[in-house]
Structure 1
Amino acid sequence: MVERETMEFDVVVVGAGPAGLSCAIRLAQQAQEKEQELMICVVEKGSEVGAHILSGAVFETKALDELLPDWKKMGAPITTKVTQDDIYLFKDEQKALSIPHIAVPKTFKNHGNYIVSMGNVCRWLAEQAENLGVEVFPGFSAHSIICEDNQIKGIVTGDMGVDNNGQPKDSYMPGMELRAKYTVFAEGCRGHLGKQLIKQFKLDENTSPQHYGLGFKEIWQVPPEQHKEGTVVHGTGWPLTSDTHGGSFMYHAENNQVVVGLIVDLNYSNPYLSPFDEFQRMKHHPVFKNTLQGAERVSYGARAIAKGGFHSLPKMHFPGGLLVGCDAGTLNFAKIKGNHTAMKSGMIAADSIIEALASESPASDLSTFTEKFKSSWLYDELYQSRNFGPVMHKFGKIIGGAYNTLDQNLFSGALPFTFKDNLADHDTLESARDSIKIDYPKPDGTLSFDKLSSVFLSNTNHEESQPCHLQLHDPVIPIKVNLAQFDEPAQRYCPAGVYEITENDSNEPQFVINAQNCVHCKTCDIKDPSQNITWVTPEGAGGPNYPNM
């Protein structure tokens, strides 16, 4: 058995995103107010805080106003106010209809919000946490859970210096046990430990399956005359077909930079669909082309987002811990925003933990979290938007969009109907023989690009000699099942060129995993029709290194 160093804390937080850092800050604030010593640790698998953060992002400051009311005076990197909202229905590759605001849900309106880099916001939040005495450890992946007597006691960080066969190299360093009275899991969408906890404690009983979208984002440096700082553009329709849901966005940030992206819902049915290529051809539409022409692409990334909303929320507390933010699925898809909701869930977690630590019960299961959650604006916001996604999936973009506009604008989400989508995203693919192949245009190297050159801009890197973090339950399935039935969709749904079908020396197809390319989007873990791929944490600090995403 490996001997591991052990460190003891009052609270361990897994993930230095908006939820985890808000939880840590709130805990430290309350400890200061009560003049009590509290040992708080945040572990982050990225090489630095913010390295793995990818978000649009138009930021609503509601939770931050509560957490750090003086954030403007404190120098928060939140300065570009939204000045204009443009919303389009894209008809085809040339035409777009500008939609009047009265015809869209009020949740799409961004007055008072800011265009930000959430990576930079998280870096700033980490500084505030450290100033309050929180220990932040970047470059350490949370590999496994410590569970004793059916209670979570902390986590084990990943081993370093292990070769492809799982054997120690000369540089081997065993992971540490980080033990805590309470552990908060804030890993982001489809967290691999969160996924285990949901299964172990049956946290998703009586809920709809979680639903996901794959979000792409690029940052472009544009000529000053094509830049309109503060302008927010959202769109629906082309290039996605009527039965494929999602939407496009373009945000004019500061310093002549423009953020452009596409979200593709992962409940699509055509196995030949390539979300990456849909995004690349989207940029050729005049609405985007007129801004990006003559500009320079400086960054690329992709990440799954949890968009099931209220009906897909698991129970968020269990013995010894809490599940918060996108690890639980608190994103409000009606707003296309999840940062303020993630932050609030982390703050509620902190309040529950402070109360539990003051209790005489040593094994409190943090059940007060549910009461605090239900009495918060977070619960109200998610409840009001509960039908947004299911209605779109059930009735389509036109009828579903009309229902959502009526429900949100006139009734604030109070129409007495409940719609649910109980078909998991991995169950929606049709067979290849019943589907139409999609002929995507070749990238022109000006507006559209290939996967490998895009991954290069994400600064993705993994130590090559390490166990593959994309684990197959059955290595036979990709060829015998997925290739035969679906023409192996992994080679198309992955936004980083991780999966390929090649031929071996006997001219037989073989499934190749280029784990070095992985940008940690988790799409394979979600969309694989056989649920045969499990994403686990690679060696600490591996993956993308996003500078300003």
Structure 2
Amino acid sequence: MTNQEILAQFGPRESMEYDVVVVGGGPGGLATAIRLKQLAAEKGTDVSVVVLEKGSEPGAHILSGAIMDPKALTELIPNWKELGAPLNQPVTDDAYVFLGEKSGFRVPNVFLPPFAHNDGNYIVSLGSVTKWMAEQAEALGVEIFPGFSAAEVLYNDDGSVKGVATGNLGIGKDGEPMESFQLGMELLGKYTVFAEGARGHLGKQLISKFKLDEGRDPQSWGIGIKEVWEIDPSRHQPGFVMHTAGWPMESDTYGGAFLYHLEGNKVAIGFVTGLGYSNPYLSPFEEFQRWKTHPNVRYYFENAKGEVNAKRLGYGARAINASGINALPKTVFPGGALIGCNAGYLNVGRIKGSHAAIKTGMQAAEAAYDAVVAGRQHDELSAYPEAFEKSWLHTELNKDRNFKNWFKYGLTVATLMNGFEQFVLRGHIPWTLRRTKPDYAYLKPAAECKPIVYPKPDGKLTFDKLSSVFISNTNHEEQQPAHLTLKDASVPVAINLAKYAGPEARYCPAGVYEFVKNEDNTDRLQINAQNCVHCKTCDIKDPTQNIVWVTPEGGGGPNYAGM
């Protein structure tokens, strides 16, 4: 049954009205809600705020490196230390290392550009920070609904955003309501703030509907794959940060890796692959596994005898924005706004987005609060982008605007030119590099590319996808329809497999896509939707743009701990 047919049979949906509806319970969405309640308390007014979070609890779907710049958090909650925010490990040292297959060269810190310094920043579990922010929001009177996915944008007759509807529960694989069926509900707001993170399902629709990206560069993306390990205390250096570039990536492929020493003998490691890569045989997951075997990296997972004695605790993956201000869409439209990574505010040069999400959430909240108390609704919150233009965040992003685009000329040129822009020009850059193609358009036919043979995992330092997904605690209600949908079911075999050697089986970090043989020896694409960690890579990199990621039932997906 279609949604319209379900509504005709079981509707109408129940609705709840709020002044502001926030979609997404990450740092940006929670900052929006907190700032709204702060302003109401300061000025003796009342503003009703609800936050919808598709994860089972705030933080369950949050995955980031993460080194956190506390600047925006300090503006939002000046006494965050006293309130117990889990920013426990300050950065003590930065290392940028260029890797060859067996070699490594550390750039002297004196030559690191300003964006590469992390003085005053903290190595955090952003999921833990998010859980703490949710507690602060609830203490201020914010209503948080975890386990509810916003599945549909609702519009007024004049085309302005009216709110959102949550997904229906209890729909079977055949699309028919089961005995456990529950109709979704409508959350209606004078304004709706979309804080879904990178490649947000509804944000994507809004950008298209309101043509918010007209005149902007196509957004560029990366996939970040992360693991958390507990390592030998003798190899642990609390606060030490290492970033690497070079091997195992080819010089024409954008990417890099990180290793962050948290407290408690834990390290967070991760690998970012730019999704503008051209070789369909490339597997971001396998590149990450291979990177761990480099002597400069492997060292941290071994004991003095050279034996791997570390324990892997967590795994996850997430798409990240990588274009910065060059691709930033218009962020307001009648009735709503996009904030944080849903708009693309991440600073890829600094590899940081949480401070930008919090700052833009505050700016959107201040604009929405003024509009609500003035009696307005469903118009454009123009004060929000105006505030961004005047803010330190705009200055920061503008200064680093060319960082990613220099990499189209290779790693060496990018390194030299980013250094020149920051060291010599001090960020006062008279030129802007443009980008003209989306990431999926860079993929070449398999016949033009060299296959990549990856080593088999050893089960100690390197692993396969399925054992990795297992420790992400990913779970979906098995009877629901697959939330990874195809516009045309014939395309994966007829085009993607025939022309591009089936890249979806390699770019997915969770083993969702698998080409299998039918009884007559023909091929078909099997979609293992229960494995999905909600990274959104397929929605971005599919060369035919045939895959569309839609929301599964609320509460499904990963349940990250300490990520």
1:133 pairs with 2:141: yes
Structure 1 gaps of 5+ residues are: none
Contact 2:260 2:269 in 1 (8 A): yes
Aligned residue number for residue 111 of structure 1: 119
Aligned residue number for residue 74 of structure 1: 83
1:311 pairs with 2:352: no
More deviation, 403-412/135-144: 403-412
Aligned residue number for residue 387 of structure 2: 372
Contact 2:335 2:377 in 1 (8 A): no
Written as runs of structure 1 = structure 2, the 5 A alignment for 1:242-391 is 242-293=251-302, 294-391=309-406
Distance across 2 between alignment mates of 1:379 and 1:164: 46
Q: 1:360 deviation in Å?
A: 4.4
Q: 1:101 deviation in Å?
A: 2.2
Distance across 1 between alignment mates of 2:268 and 2:412: 27
Aligned residue number for residue 207 of structure 1: 216
Q: Choose which of 492, 496, 501 in structure 1 pairs with 2:510.
A: 496
Q: Secondary structure at the match of 2:404?
A: helix
Distance across 2 between alignment mates of 1:358 and 1:42: 20
Written as runs of structure 1 = structure 2, the 5 A alignment for 1:85-104 is 85-92=94-101, 94-104=102-112
Distance across 1 between alignment mates of 2:524 and 2:377: 53
Aligned residue number for residue 515 of structure 1: 529
The letter of the residue matching 2:479 is S
Aligned residue number for residue 227 of structure 1: 236
Aligned residue number for residue 405 of structure 1: 419
Q: Secondary structure at the match of 1:388?
A: coil
Give the structure-2-normalised TM-score. 0.96
Distance across 2 between alignment mates of 1:507 and 1:112: 59
Contact 2:160 2:379 in 1 (8 A): no
Distance across 2 between alignment mates of 1:170 and 1:308: 46
Q: 1:86 deviation in Å?
A: 1.1
CA displacement, residues 382-407 of structure 1 (integer Å, 9 cap, x when unaligned): 111111111122x2111111111121
Distance across 2 between alignment mates of 1:104 and 1:443: 35
Distance across 2 between alignment mates of 1:20 and 1:220: 29
Aligned residue number for residue 306 of structure 2: none
Written as runs of structure 1 = structure 2, the 5 A alignment for 1:417-428 is 417-428=431-442
Q: 1:339 deviation in Å?
A: 0.6
Q: Choose which of 416, 434, 440 in structure 1 pairs with 2:454.
A: 440
The letter of the residue matching 2:432 is T
Aligned residue number for residue 3 of structure 2: none
Q: 1:356 deviation in Å?
A: 1.2
Q: 1:371 deviation in Å?
A: 1.0
More deviation, 397-406/72-81: 397-406
The letter of the residue matching 1:456 is F
Aligned residue number for residue 458 of structure 1: 472
Q: Choose which of 53, 67, 70 in structure 2 pairs with 1:61.
A: 70
Distance across 2 between alignment mates of 1:55 and 1:322: 23
Give the percent of matched residue pairs that are identical in Structure 1 and Structure 2: 53
1:18 pairs with 2:33: no
Distance across 2 between alignment mates of 1:363 and 1:248: 43
The letter of the residue matching 1:39 is S
The letter of the residue matching 1:364 is D
Q: 1:211 deviation in Å?
A: 0.5
Aligned residue number for residue 39 of structure 1: 48
The letter of the residue matching 1:66 is E
CA displacement, residues 55-100 of structure 1 (integer Å, 9 cap, x when unaligned): 00011001011000000001000010101111100011x2111111
Distance across 2 between alignment mates of 1:342 and 1:360: 27
More deviation, 164-173/18-27: 164-173
Structure 2 gaps of 5+ residues are: 1-7, 303-308
Q: Secondary structure at the match of 1:371?
A: helix
Aligned residue number for residue 175 of structure 1: 184
Aligned residue number for residue 160 of structure 1: 169
Distance across 2 between alignment mates of 1:362 and 1:303: 34
Q: 1:188 deviation in Å?
A: 0.2
Q: Secondary structure at the match of 1:480?
A: helix
CA displacement, residues 181-232 of structure 1 (integer Å, 9 cap, x when unaligned): 0000000000000000000000000000000000011000111111111000
Aligned residue number for residue 216 of structure 1: 225
The letter of the residue matching 1:434 is E
Distance across 2 between alignment mates of 1:154 and 1:409: 46
The letter of the residue matching 2:538 is C
Contact 2:191 2:378 in 1 (8 A): no
Distance across 1 between alignment mates of 2:163 and 2:217: 29
CA RMSD, Structure 1 to Structure 2 (Å): 0.9
Q: Choose which of 527, 530, 542 in structure 2 pairs with 1:528.
A: 542
The letter of the residue matching 2:292 is K
Contact 1:4 1:176 in 2 (8 A): yes
- In structure 2, the CA distance between the partners of 1:18 and 1:477, relative to structure 1 (3 Å rule), is same
Please list every run of at least 4 consecutive aligned residues from structure 1 whose deviation after the TM superposition is greater than 6 angstroms. Answer: none
CA displacement, residues 291-313 of structure 1 (integer Å, 9 cap, x when unaligned): 11210001000000011111100
Contact 2:61 2:560 in 1 (8 A): yes
CA displacement, residues 336-374 of structure 1 (integer Å, 9 cap, x when unaligned): 101101110101100110121133444431112221110
Contact 1:106 1:405 in 2 (8 A): no
The letter of the residue matching 1:107 is F
Distance across 1 between alignment mates of 2:328 and 2:123: 27
Aligned residue number for residue 305 of structure 2: none
